[in-house]
Structure 1
Amino acid sequence: MLGLSTLGQSASSAAVNGPAFLIPALHHGGLSLATAGLIAAAAIAGSTCTLVLWGAVVDASGERFVLVSSLASSALALAAAAWFHESTVLLGVFLFLAGAASAGTSSASGRVVVGWFPPRRRGTAMGIRQMAQPIGVGLAAIAIPVMADLHGIGAALAVPAAFAAVTALACWAWVLDPARPPRPADVAAENPYRNSTYLTRIHAVSILLVIPQFTVWTFMLVWLQVGRDWSPGAAGALVAAAQVLGAVGRIGAGHLSDVVGSRTRPLRWVAVAAGLTMLAVGVTIRLDWSVAVPLIMLATMITVADNGLAFTAVAERAGPFWSGRALGLQNTGQYLTATAVPPLIGLLIPLWGYGVAFGLTGLFPLLAAPLVPRDEADLDT
């Protein structure tokens, strides 16, 4: 179940983020960079629009149904984008639909992990499942540009389409919905947002923590090349290594939450550590100290460590009949914030420099730390 949920989320990540690697081919084919970027962002926009809707379907129909239907419909939309790629409008429309379709795997795959693993092992399992995003992006980064260069955009889009189709078949064959308790007569009365701010506070914390995460993801490569005069190859290799560290950080944070019997205590620790690390990154870049390089590597690991903790906390608190929608809201807030981060930080860097821009993002995790709610009880064994 863990392998299939991770595979499903990897296929979704490749479908949503893969079109970004078509930008050079689209630009070479005659599109402006702005238009090529808009086309590449269509899948992300589609995914953002349907996360909550898919979450409601998970709550109503179960995890296996959503995994299979989400991945299969994403594969069909990507295949259509590959077929009609010579039309800019149709390409954008089908990529939007592919993103909208693939969004269902986020809630469904998370629910598979939460349902099949007991609380004392769930944090580690979710940390492994959270590796799906860098895996999917990494596979897309390797395959899509090469296929686009050798065989064209249509062939490149066939790669994530085939990935999604094969994964849909695997989920159809082997995924089993985890057991649920009897459905209450009045599900609305079980709304976890009533009479408690726990979930709302987790959502707010995650929104604040995504700001330094996407700042580092977006501008680390540029800073290494422009600010440190690194070659593109060396900078790219360091960024790839940082993604590996990020994956390790997610698993480590999840395992720590299992050990201490709490999701929110490690989440608070991560928030403080992320804030202090980003402030240190900002200061050392401003002073042009070489220690800024290992510090930004450390920041890459710490700033993503909260994702699995918050995701698990939301699913556990919301319960089997509300967690789909709650996880959809969780991801929607993060996606919308992540969309705004690159242009805003891109405005600050020319004005104040990389050091100030990076350092300022360290204030957001420090604001998030006191917002983290406390667990009402230790995890059940």
Structure 2
Amino acid sequence: MAIGSGSGGAGGAGSGAGGAGAPTRIAPRSWAMLAVMVFGQASTTLVTATPAFLIPYLHAELGMSLASAGVLAGAPHFGLVLTLIAWGALTDRFGERRVLITGLSLTTLAIALSVCAAIYTSGVVWLGLALVASGAMSACINNASGRLIAGWFPVDRRGLAMGIRQTCQPVGMAVAAVTIPALANSFGIAGALAFGGLLTLVSLVACAVVVADPSIPAKTLAAASSNPYRESWTLARIHAVSVLLVVPQFVLSSFGLVWFVLGFGWSELAAGALVAAAQLIGAGGRVVAGVWSDRAGSRLRPIRLIALACAVLLVISAAFGWADWALPAAVAYVLVSCVSVADNGLAFTAVAEIAGPKWSGRALGTQNTGQFLASSLLPPAVGALIAVAGVPATLAAVAIAPLLAVPLVPSEREAHATATRTARAAR
């Protein structure tokens, strides 16, 4: 998409041609909002990722099958799927600050319930339900943080800002990879879950102190609107692309630890450090991709190249796995993990810009719903496939997803036309 022709973002921030002229100066207050959103989203990412990093503990210590442990790993993502669009609609109606404070308060309460379920109940039913609830409440920040950043940053710096915002996911995953297995071994499931609750509580306090809605209130912007989904298939195609590209991302982050512990005989500490390194490097890759899109004046062209690179690297990783070459496999794993997450910020920004300020909350909710729906369904299926075919064959099969995504990426002309019509309707 030619980003200079976008709608001005979720909060009506100024426009300008991406990649042309001197970058707009950003006020310190905007950077403060961004910092709080990164910490908050990283905290909720750790909350939803915690069950995935409990898989080795559940499998080795409690004798749970990989498929059963995968069900628990997908529980928070299932909760996210149930509420993302609803949280987006609430953000469009009431603004970011109210949604963040309310949602993070409920998230903290849900995590406390999951800790109690881990301590006082047997089996996994009540724990699974509590994990679903924690995921459902934590969804508040996914849409609100995107709208907030799009509203506080102008279009020619929005790719950078959203790229930084998107580092929250790999940072949260990296922290989870390092801390959750160790906490589980020392304090059990309850201790691992409680760590996420503490981070969420800190995020709640930070939001209450720092966050303010963009200058144009969301409830005013939502008073009337032309539905962007009726304008064209552009947003739907971006959603479909993101669902396909989240498949390798989630498989790598959720089962990378399992691959190197069970497949190559690494210690949990060494495998966790590798997964953490991959996530942290991937965080930098998201920022680079955001800057790339600002300078290129396009969010969509980079996505096509990222999808192709991801497919190639998945096949290479699978080949090293079949050859039982641990170190080359580790290098390939880090590279493909980095590439597989680089598209997220670009797609997220494109959706906010195309949807316009009156629909961005719901559009971002729809964007995330598709991704997290895939994430909630993947763990049991992938766990079962790994048990039958092994990790290398699974990685090779997963390479099909980014290849399918390439032709689905909308053309620049289509995205430009949709964004222009949406912006005109929003005036």
Task: Specify the alignment match of 1:265 in structure 2.
Answer: 301
Deviations 1:275-332 (A, max 9, x none): 2222333345445566444223211111111111111111111112211111111111
Q: Indicate how the Cα distance of structure 1 residues 241 and 161 shifts in structure 2: closer, same or farther if over 3 A, else same.
A: closer
Q: Which residue of 1 aligns with 2:15?
A: none
Task: State the partner residue of 2:43.
Answer: 11
Q: Which moved more, 1:211-220 or 1:83-92?
A: 83-92
Secondary structure, counterpart of 1:194 in structure 2:
helix
Output the CA distance in 2 between the equivalents of 1:71 and 1:268: 35
Calculate percent identity across the aligned residue pairs.
Answer: 47
Match of 1:176 in 2: 212
Structure 1 residue matching 2:358: 3-state secondary structure? coil
Aligned to 2:165: 129
1:134 to partner: Cα distance? 2.7
Q: Cα distance, 1:197 vs. partner?
A: 0.8
Deviation at 1:210, TM superposition (A): 1.5
Q: What is residue 274 of structure 1 aligned with on the other side?
A: 310
Residues 230-277 of structure 1: per-residue CA shift (max 9 Å, x gap):
454433332222112211111111111111011011111111211222
Quick one: structure 1 residues 75 and 349, their matched pair in 2 at CA, closer, same or farther if it must change by over 3 Å?
A: closer
Asked if 1:86 corresponds to 2:120, the answer is: yes
Aligned length, in residue pairs: 378
* 2:353 equivalent to 1:316: yes
Indicate if the aligned counterparts of 1:15 and 1:74 stay in contact, CA closer than 8 A.
no
Distance 2:380 2:75 in 1: 17
Q: Is residue 46 from structure 1 mapped to residue 79 from structure 2 by the alignment?
A: yes
Verify the 8 A CA contact 2:76 2:133 in the aligned structure 1: yes
Q: Partner residue of 2:363?
A: 326
Partner of 1:72: 105
- Distance of aligned partners of 1:21 and 1:269 in 2 relative to their CA distance in 1, 3 Å threshold: closer
The unaligned stretches of length 5 or more in structure 2 are 1-32, 421-427
Give the letter aligned to residue 75 of structure 1.
T
Greater shift after overlay, 111-120 or 29-38? 29-38
Match of 1:55 in 2: 88
Residue of structure 2 aligned with 1:303, choices 322, 340, 343: 340
Could you report, residue by residue, the CA deviation over 1:175-201 in whole angstroms, capped at 9, with x for unpaired residues? 0111238637632xx111012111001
Deviation of 1:365 (Å):
1.4
Which amino acid letter does the alignment assign opposite residue 294 of structure 2?
A: D
TM-score by length of 1: 0.87
By relative contact order (CA 8 Å, sep 6+), the higher-ranking structure is 2
Return the alpha-carbon distance in structure 1 between the equivalents of residues 365 and 383 of structure 2: 28
- Counterpart AA for 2:338: M
The structural deviation recorded for 1:344 is 3.5
Q: Which residue is 1:2 aligned to?
A: 34
CA displacement 1:129-183 (0-9 Å, x = unmatched): 1111233334445555555555565554433223222211211121011123863
Q: State the partner residue of 2:399.
A: 362
Worse-matched range after superposition: 248-257 or 339-348: 339-348
**Structure 1: stretches of 5+ with no match in the other structure:** none
**CA separation in 2, counterparts of 1:340 and 1:5?**
27
1:248 maps to which of 271, 279, 284: 284
Q: Which amino acid aligns with 1:64?
A: R
1:95 corresponds to 2:131 = yes
SS in 1 for 2:412: coil
CA distance in 2, matches of 1:155, 1:351: 32
Kept in 2, the 8 Å contact 1:201–1:371? The answer is yes
Q: 1:152 to 1:233 in 2, by over 3 A?
A: closer
State the distance in 1 between where 2:72 and 2:153 align.
39
- CA distance in structure 1 between the aligned counterparts of 2:404 and 2:107, rounded to whole angstroms: 38
Distance in structure 2 (CA, Å) of the matches to 1:157 and 1:292: 31
Measured on the aligned residues, the alpha-carbon RMSD in Å equals: 3.1
Q: In 2, distance between residues paired with 1:266 and 1:370?
A: 13
Q: SS of 1:177's equivalent?
A: coil
Q: Is the 8 A contact 1:8 1:67 kept in 2?
A: no
Structure 1 position 167 matched with structure 2 position 203: yes
Which region of structure 1 is more displaced relative to structure 2, 332-341 or 53-62?
332-341
Separation in 1, partners of 2:376, 2:85 = 17
352 and 104 in structure 1: CA distance in 2 versus 1, 3 angstrom threshold: same
TM normalised by structure 2 equals 0.78
Letter of the aligned partner of 1:87 in structure 2?
T
- Check the 8 A contact 1:207/1:337 in 2, yes or no: yes
CA spacing shift, 1:280–1:41, aligned 2, 3 Å: closer
Matching of residue 186 in structure 1 with residue 224 in structure 2: yes
Equivalents in 1 of 2:215, 2:296: separation in Å?
A: 26
3-state SS of 2:230 partner: coil
* Structure 1 residues 225 and 25, CA gap change in structure 2 (3 angstroms): closer
Question: Using the alignment, how far apart are the partners of 2:335 and 2:168 within structure 1?
Answer: 20
